[in-house]
Chain A
């Protein structure tokens, strides 16, 4: 892992959603440029939906989980190359 890459972790255990709803496009795609504060995904836990925001801006290199996957607390879900 290069020093300029960061991994976004899920703060909670729950279900990972790539898009705001099933009919809408994903929040981010691999290769996309993001700013600090951008919403990258939704984690749903016990019917409560939490938007996950990027802490730092950069380019999304890798999305490590699939839409609707179960994720554990602190599980790494995206790789972002920081700019």
Chain B
């Protein structure tokens, strides 16, 4: 087992990984930019190394700086968290070349997952239904227009280098393509250090349902249930739940087996997520492989009772999966609200600032994954996620009630948060019934 792990990330996920390491008696090294000197991950880690200026490109995306920090502190492995370098194949390769274990899939797998045309060919050969389009990186406006003609509008431009809604644009007509490509590519470069984008047919009013998979280095693969992530704003997930209110046992098994089939075919190792779009007739279309731990992993942890971060570390250290598919039981219902430092009454304008008068929710079935504390200054250089409020209960109705109760307990001053927005959603009839798709928030806004 590793004696020391460096966490190449910040914020709530860095804290999450440090917690998993502590419980396994693994020493931790935090890295921080000039803006994160007072970060909670810095306070909790055994050691901390300054890796550069606030700008992500100069710090959390700075591969040399991070690898140097690992070598100087004697860390044996690096956990990349999510975002930043977590899906960067050159970083995974650099770790390997420097004798460091990258906690995640291999560089080759990351490359395949990121190479949409290679991934699609594998899927088509396996007989898994895919979304039309996506034939590799789009390198010109003309190429994009030809592809869009072929698959039919509307189409969606997406970033190859990562998710989280960054570098995405829906294009309804030819005249929007050129600007859309430029904006998406610029955003992608800023977020992932990679301007590559690809194009797909845009399926209207689908449900976004994803399958958590786990594979060890001995060819064992399992799926750990599904997550419904349809409540999204500007392609960013805001609320997730497991299980999905739309998925019955039969669909779960079909999607889970498809996910494992793909994982096995690409030799996937460690934790990953297979994303699907599901239409109203329960047809599921493979969207993409997310070759990283996801923000919303807690809802899977709470219904399966499995610590996904610890599993990632065990697998990276060479251990076999201790459970097979039959051992995995999903129990109860979990929901997560992503809390952002944004003002829901001012078009979700981001509000960095100093946290005051903080009271976090607690009590039965409530979990808060955050990095903020009273007196902490939320910096303006990173995304606005300041915490995740997660609940577990015996069934969906109870989970909704519990989340509502937990949201009402949250207090903070000095920054704005999206808590009031989440309260609105948890009082919405359609949401409470589970009648949601990816247009839910748009529709809720229209109806007021």
Contact = CB atoms under 8 A, between A and B. Distances in A.
Interface string A1-32: 00000000000111100000110000000000
A74 interface: no
B349 A15 contact: no
B186 A45 contact: no
Interface string B150-192: 0000000000000000100000000000000010001001110
B383 interface: yes
Nearest to B182: A21
A24 B191 CA distance: 18
B350 interface: yes
A51 interface: no
Contacts of B349: 48
Nearest to A45: B380
A77 interface: no
A44 B54 CA distance: 12
Interface residues of A, number: 13
A55 interface: no
A47 B350 contact: yes
Contacts of B360: none
A70 interface: yes
Contact of A46 (B53, B186, B191, B380): B380
Contact of B352 (A13, A21, A22, A68): A13
A70 B352 contact: no
B247 interface: no
Interface string B209-252: 00000000000000000000000000000000000000000000
Contacts of A45: 350, 352, 380
Given A70-B35, A70-B54, A47 B383 contact: yes
Most central of B35, B58, B381, B383 by chain A CB within 10 Å: B381
Given A22-B189, A46-B384, A70 B350 contact: no
A15 B186 contact: no
Most central of A14, A44, A45, A46 by chain B CB within 10 Å: A46
A45 B35 CA distance: 13
Contacts of A48: 349-350
B55 interface: yes
A21 B55 contact: no
A12 to B, nearest CB: 7
17 contacts: A13-B352, A14-B381, A15-B54, A15-B55, A21-B186, A22-B189, A44-B190, A45-B380, A46-B342, A46-B380, A46-B384, A47-B166, A47-B382, A47-B383, A48-B350, A70-B35, A70-B55
Which 5 A-B pairs rank lowest in CB-CB distance, beginning with the nearest?
Answer: A46-B350, A45-B380, A14-B380, A46-B384, A13-B380
Interface of B: 35, 53-55, 58, 166, 182, 186, 189-191, 341-342, 349-350, 352, 380-384
Given A47-B384, A48-B350, 10 more contacts: A14-B352, A14-B380, A46-B350, A46-B382, A46-B383, A46-B384, A47-B191, A47-B350, A68-B58, A70-B35
